[in-house]
Amino acid sequence: MQETFELVVNGQRHVSASPRDTPLLHVLRHELDLKGSRFGCGLGLCGVCFVLMDGHPTPACDTPLWSAAGRKIVTIEGLGDSDSLHPAQQAFQREQAAQCGYCVSGILISAAALLADNPHPDEADVVAALDRHLCRCGAQRRMIRALTRRADAA
Ligand code: FES
Ligand code: FES
């Protein structure tokens, strides 16, 4: 009998029959058509593919399907939408924090986890939370400003 894996992604149940070591990112992008989580290094080193797994920022490129089974996964598509932005998305929009945007979906996932734990982060908190993310455009200053100003505005 073929092995299957049940995931809960953005509140929706999904059963995958892909091989057990298939990267979660592949399942998200190619089975569920959730293209917001991006591919970069494929090694867990750049941060563009991050999703929340049981609330923790996790590299989907480096997470095998079997280890995601039964976990609660949230992708950027599940964080908010244009009618109801997540506070981290609102902060990035207000500050115009994104440049090309390639890194931003992964960064917003870590930002959301940070704000869930600490709604009023200071600069050191934000730097630590975004430590695993690369931004080739050099937009980190604006991202840090967005998330710390959010604290000022609250
Ligand atoms: S593509 Fe997953 S961390 Fe780089
Ligand atoms: S905004 Fe372009 S890589 Fe970060």
- Ordered per-residue pLDDT tens for the chain, 154 residues: 889 999 999 999 999 999 999 999 999 999 999 999 999 999 999 999 999 999 999 999 999 999 999 999 999 999 988 889 999 999 999 999 999 999 999 999 999 999 999 999 999 999 999 999 999 999 999 999 999 986 555 4
pLDDT tens per residue, range 33-61: 999 999 999 999 999 999 999 999 999 99
| 35 CA from centroid of ligand 1 (Å) | 14
Q: Is 16 exposed, middle or buried (0-12, 13-18, 19+ CB in 10 A)?
A: buried
User: 140 CB less than 6 Å from ligand 2?
Assistant: no
Q: Which of 79, 95, 121 is the last residue of a domain?
A: 79
Q: Which of 51, 79, 107 is the last residue of a domain?
A: 79
Residues 109 and 148 in one domain: yes
What is the CATH number for 30? 3.10.20.30
User: 24 CB less than 6 Å from ligand 1?
Assistant: no
| 47 CA from centroid of ligand 1 (Å) | 5
What is the CATH number for 97? 1.10.150.120
CA-based radius of gyration for the chain: 16
Q: How many domains does the chain have?
A: 2
- Alpha-carbon distance of 75 to 21, in angstroms, equals 20
- Residue 62: which domain range? 5-79
User: 137 CB less than 6 Å from ligand 2?
Assistant: yes
Residues 145 and 96 in one domain: yes
In the three-class reduction of DSSP (H, G, I as helix; E, B as strand; rest coil), residue 118 is classed as coil
Ligand nearest to the CA of 48: 1
- Pocket residue to mutate for ligand 1, from 61, 63, 104, 133, most atoms within 8 A of Cβ: 61
| 1 CA from centroid of ligand 1 (Å) | 32
Pairing mode, strands 50-53 and 56-59: antiparallel
